[in-house]
Structure 1
Amino acid sequence: MIRLVLIPLLMYAMLASSVEALERLGPDGRPLVRTIKIAADYNYPPYEFLDENGEPAGYNVDLTYAIAEVMGFDIKLVMTDWESAYSGLLSGKYDVLQGIAYSDERAQRIRFSAPHSIVNQSLFARKDGPKISDVSELDQHEVIVQNASIMHEYLLQNHPNTIIIPVATHSDALRLLAAGKHDFALTANLPSLYLSKEMGLSNIEPIGRPVAGQRLGYGTLINNEEILTLFSEGLAILKNTGRQQAIYDKWLGALDNNKLQLRELGQYAFYTTLVLLVVLGGIVIWNNMLRKEVEKRSRLLKEQQAQLIQADKMASLGVLVSGVAHEINNPTGLLMLNLPILREAWLDALPYLDEVEQQQGELRLAGLSYQRLKSELPYLLDEMQQSTDKIRNIVNDLKDFARAQPDDISEQVNINETVAMAVRLVDKSIRNASQQFSLQLAEQPLLVKGNSQRIEQVLINLILNACDALQANPQSQGKLYVSTRLNSDTQEVAIDIEDDGVGIAKADLVRLTEPFFTTKREQGGTGLGLSVSASIIQAHGGRLLFTSEPRLGTKVTVALPLMHIGN
């Protein structure tokens, strides 16, 4: 019991002392907290980058905002190229770099926090360009690196005979290499794979053994150690509360930068790869069969419980899919964990297989020529990764279905604010699908008793369905109207979502909220979105109403009981 009391007191004392180090007195004698200037690389996904709206995003960015929140200080985050960020720290322009790799040379001027991530560096080459197996063979080759990066320093110190081509960003390095300029690019592995896919650079690939993983953390100048203490303590709090893991899962998923090193397996790695391929293929088939079984059992339950009230039917079905989602999630997690390992095992096996083919002549594996397998296996792995992502999305739909009943529906919800927030979150989808969008909010506050996040979830689902309907109708004029109003007769708050999309057949209208019923099966629909939405609205004491005409459009009305203040 004493330990449980002491731990929060110690954490509070550490927090208070760290924040106090940054305080100064204002004109009124009250303490002010200094704003900390932080610099980051705008082109280093998924760790730190500018998103399509020009806003900072990524693992490092979310981590920094979370630390500032728990430690209670303000920050100013500047996204720039790495060389400017690094030189700005050294000159005192910026207080902190949020994703700087440690080196003994840098440690002479910079103090580092504990690492928050490990990043591997890889050597990238054109598929038709020169090939080497290790960075030790880079002498006299032209190598593109990010200016002032840890790999730039590495080459200067360890391979002085290399012809170094410094550029501002990872994108610049990969684009130059893909365009036929220079021999290799030495860049961070995961950011480079992200950027290659985003830019459609299909003619470059990682080769050779990667450089040992680099520890990324927060860095400040030696005279700013009190600031570094804030970030170190904040990072410790996020680790202990599990919040850092949640941020990691959001951006990096099941990828583990500390994954097992399989290079010592040598020629046996290929056989391990074949075994894993067979196992993973079986898991994919089993998951497909399980999904069909879920649909079959759901239909049987519906037929057997035809005499029961709707609430009992939905509750029973929720128990079923909750268990199924759990069972699917285990092999899916195994797929997500093993696929990156499988890809590395294949890459490690390639030099050995090349050597075997040179010695023995044409090599055949699994009934295919080695050269064909060498070119096609990466695409097979990509297809497996896409299938795994689809399975994960289905599992998430099942989980939402199982917990469609909100945990807490007692808060006061301002419907106008909730609708506006839902529209902002799907703004990109609306702009892509609609040429005539209108949002009309009632002038008076519309309050209901419920759960704002769950109501927002329903609205997002309905708006996205409307966007899909617009894109599916070639005769559509792109009309999408969202509005709120008060129905005085029924004392209900109404939210209307109306489109001139493809519409819904009359026979399908009565089945829209049935579990697993969907008219978009070929597009990957699970048939759970409207079922979950209907359950959430029913739990709030409301109604979900549909009117539609094929090829003319659909109107959906969400009706919720008006909350009377004082009741």
Structure 2
Amino acid sequence: MLTRIILLLLALVLPASGFAAQSPAPASASRIIVVGGNSNYPPYQFLDKYGQPAGYIVDLTKAIAGVMGMQVEIRLGDFGTILKQLDTGEVDVLEGLSFSESRAGHYDFSTPHSIIVQAIFARKGTPKVQGLDELKGKKVLVHRGGGMHNYLKEKGWERDLVLTDSPRDTLEQLARGNCDYAVLALLPGMHIIREDKLENIVPVASNVAPQRYYCYAVRKGNAELLAQFNEGLSILKKTGQFDEIYNRWIGVLEPQKTSWLLIAKYAALVVIPLSLILAATVLWSYSLRRQVAQRTESLSNALAELQRNQQQLVQADKMAALGILVSGVAHEINNPTGIILMNMPTLKKIFRDAERILDRYQEEEGDFSLGGIRYQRVRQEVPLILDEIQDGAHRIKKTVDDLKNFARKDDEARKEPLDFNDVVQTAVRLVDVATRKFTTNFSARYGAGLPPVYGNVQRLEQVVVNLIMNAGQALPDPSRGIEVVTSYDAGAGRVVLKVRDQGTGIAPEHLQHLTDPFFTTKRESGGTGLGLSISANIIKDHGGDLGFESNPGEGTTVTLSLPAAVAGGKNGQ
């Protein structure tokens, strides 16, 4: 097992370091790079109903081409044919190929962009199995040329395999009763079951084989082209585009907590003094003495606001210094954390395999100790320890990523006129899976005839997603509801979004701190206190406002307002 891990690491590192056995022609920015892929492997890569390439890796390839300035032609077809075209040079790079030791002898692999989890599928009512070993000697459906086909061939199971043309063909044959079991990747399998309505098929076991690392692959020695794709992947991860594409297709949705340092109450720094000055002016005609008193009060308030503003500037300077510190140490923290996360599934599998051997040894030799601890206690506590290590590593990575995003300044985000209803509808679709877990009573109403707003669609989607996820997390049980409503306030010239929840509400003393950086009431569940601060900053950058109304035990209403776009102006200005 150690040898396999070392070979895997070498295969992932050496292509990026420039070592090559041979030197195919380097990728030129002036020529079209032909990128091949599987036409029937949803949601990673497939042909849509119009015959056009679509899927997670297809969008990833297009994004890499955009940031690297490459011209690409994406060619999807039969996997075996595309693989042969890579060998002959008709295709320059495969956008999805599972890493294996045998393939590493013929191809160079990029850093992984996906991890493929393999599963066993069966018809409902078929006896359940726990792993591949229970399928030995049975006829099993498997996709010809796929990662599991090669894996099972190496295990000597070839004579028991019933080969199919694609993952979809695999499940269709299983549904018709041709064999009792099929082995294929879990995510494509679930996607096909849902899209084709194969209601009699269910996964009966997952993680049944070593996780397959899904990478870009080139012919052996084409280091320059591979380096471009590796660099493009790195850029997408740093800019957040990688996560956007991943969440769009794979559906792993968590509250997106990227960052900006801004507090919504900054608006009050201008509104309050101006209101006081206006009030003093109105009262001028009644009494000079009252006018003087009003102005004195106004100056006192302005001085207090100035002092508070100075304190906030000092805090902003501290946060700028924190950003420099975070950017310097985040890489050093993420590297060892990534190693822990990558190796922990292997350690868990090793311990599960070792348990059977140790159990037999205990039956034969009696109770014994490991590291000074009785084996029965080791057997109970080691899996918990491994889970705690993995959860801790995930927490470290999440916190570091949040801090990196919070420290990053992005003044160049493109803004354009857009339909705010489209923004909200997209956000609602993105959190559909999560909201169905939070509540059975979700509703959305979109106002008709809303004028456009001027903004950045990705940033505004991020804010709406964050508000809906916060509303869902506030619900004590799924019977409580969430309501999303858009409208237009013609008098104020503003497009308005209201997100109402029937949750536990917010304590009055917490309302004024909701957009403070690092303020959170969900620290125990992993909250970092950056989500609403980021959202308020984004809305402020768009010339809008974010307000909160809440009664403990009755729920919360968040009101987001943006200026309507006007001809010849931006953000209504």
In 1: Cα distance, 2:396 partner to 2:542 partner: 30
AA aligned opposite 1:438:
R
- Structure 1, 387-396 or 451-460: larger mean CA deviation: 451-460
1:481 aligns with 2:472: no
Structure 2: give runs of 5+ residues left out of the alignment. Answer: 1-24, 48-52, 121-127, 190-201, 247-304
Structure 2 residue aligned with 1:528: 530
Structure 1 residue aligned with 2:398: 393
| TM-aligned CA distance change 1:338 to 1:314, over 3 Å | same
In 2: Cα distance, 1:102 partner to 1:333 partner: 21
| TM-aligned CA distance change 1:459 to 1:158, over 3 Å | closer
SS of the aligned residue for 1:480 comes to: strand
Matches within 5 A, 1:432-451: 433=439, 434-440=441-447, 442-447=449-454, 451=456
| TM-aligned CA distance change 1:380 to 1:165, over 3 Å | farther
Pick from 370, 378, 385 the counterpart of residue 365 of structure 1: 370
Pick from 216, 226, 229 the counterpart of residue 238 of structure 1: 229
| TM-aligned CA distance change 1:440 to 1:346, over 3 Å | closer
In 2: Cα distance, 1:163 partner to 1:456 partner: 49
SS of the aligned residue for 2:404 comes to: helix
Structure 2 residue aligned with 1:505: 507
| TM-aligned CA distance change 1:153 to 1:530, over 3 Å | closer
Q: Is the 8 A contact 2:500 2:558 kept in 1?
A: no
In 1: Cα distance, 2:458 partner to 2:241 partner: 23
What RMSD, in angstroms, separates the aligned Cα atoms of the two structures?
6.0
Structure 2 residue aligned with 1:337: 339
Matches within 5 A, 1:293-332: 307-309=307-309, 311-312=312-313, 314-316=315-317, 318-319=319-320, 321-322=322-323, 325=326, 327=329, 330-332=332-334
Residue deviations 1:476-529, cap 9 Å, x none? 4x351331424544xx53422131422333333222222333333343322222
1:472 aligns with 2:476: yes
Pick from 143, 146, 160 the counterpart of residue 142 of structure 2: 146
Matches within 5 A, 1:128-167: 146-149=142-145, 152=149, 159=156, 163-164=160-161
TM-score normalised to the size of structure 2? 0.55
Ranked by relative contact order (alpha carbons within 8 Å, sequence separation 6 or more), the top structure is: 2
In 2: Cα distance, 1:423 partner to 1:358 partner: 56
TM-score normalised to the size of structure 1? 0.56
Structure 2 residue aligned with 1:28: none
AA aligned opposite 2:465:
I
Pick from 407, 414, 418 the counterpart of residue 418 of structure 2: 414
Structure 2 residue aligned with 1:298: none
| TM-aligned CA distance change 1:154 to 1:421, over 3 Å | closer
1:380 aligns with 2:385: yes
Q: Is the 8 A contact 1:413 1:452 kept in 2?
A: no
Q: Could you tell me the percent identity over the aligned residues?
A: 30
**Deviation of 1:462 (Å):** 1.8
In 2: Cα distance, 1:430 partner to 1:212 partner: 30
1:458 aligns with 2:463: yes
1:426 aligns with 2:424: no
Q: Is the 8 A contact 1:68 1:74 kept in 2?
A: no
Q: How many residues align?
A: 436
In 2: Cα distance, 1:376 partner to 1:200 partner: 29
In 2: Cα distance, 1:204 partner to 1:240 partner: 30
Matches within 5 A, 1:245-284: 246=237
Q: Is the 8 A contact 1:504 1:549 kept in 2?
A: yes
Q: Is the 8 A contact 2:362 2:368 kept in 1?
A: yes
**Deviation of 1:237 (Å):** 3.8
| TM-aligned CA distance change 1:550 to 1:384, over 3 Å | same
In 1: Cα distance, 2:241 partner to 2:456 partner: 27
Residue deviations 1:146-191, cap 9 Å, x none? 3423664676689489654657759989xx9xxxx99x99989999
In 2: Cα distance, 1:536 partner to 1:333 partner: 30
Structure 1 residue aligned with 2:282: none
SS of the aligned residue for 1:444 comes to: coil
Structure 1 residue aligned with 2:217: 217
Structure 1 residue aligned with 2:196: none
Structure 1 residue aligned with 2:21: none
Pick from 522, 546, 549 the counterpart of residue 548 of structure 2: 546
Q: Is the 8 A contact 1:534 1:544 kept in 2?
A: yes
AA aligned opposite 1:440:
G
In 2: Cα distance, 1:551 partner to 1:185 partner: 50
SS of the aligned residue for 1:440 comes to: coil
SS of the aligned residue for 2:546 comes to: strand
Q: Is the 8 A contact 1:496 1:557 kept in 2?
A: yes
Residue deviations 1:197-246, cap 9 Å, x none? xx88679765xxx8999997379xxxxxxxxxxx9997564345555874
Q: Is the 8 A contact 1:436 1:479 kept in 2?
A: yes
In 2: Cα distance, 1:104 partner to 1:324 partner: 40
AA aligned opposite 2:144:
A
In 2: Cα distance, 1:164 partner to 1:13 partner: 39
Q: Is the 8 A contact 1:406 1:451 kept in 2?
A: no
Structure 1: give runs of 5+ residues left out of the alignment. Answer: 1-10, 23-35, 79-83, 107-111, 132-137, 193-198, 220-230, 254-304
In 1: Cα distance, 2:495 partner to 2:405 partner: 24
Q: Is the 8 A contact 1:15 1:233 kept in 2?
A: no
Q: Is the 8 A contact 1:481 1:499 kept in 2?
A: yes
Structure 2 residue aligned with 1:516: 518
SS of the aligned residue for 1:383 comes to: helix
Structure 2 residue aligned with 1:402: 407
Q: Is the 8 A contact 1:143 1:186 kept in 2?
A: no
**Deviation of 1:371 (Å):** 5.6
AA aligned opposite 2:483:
L
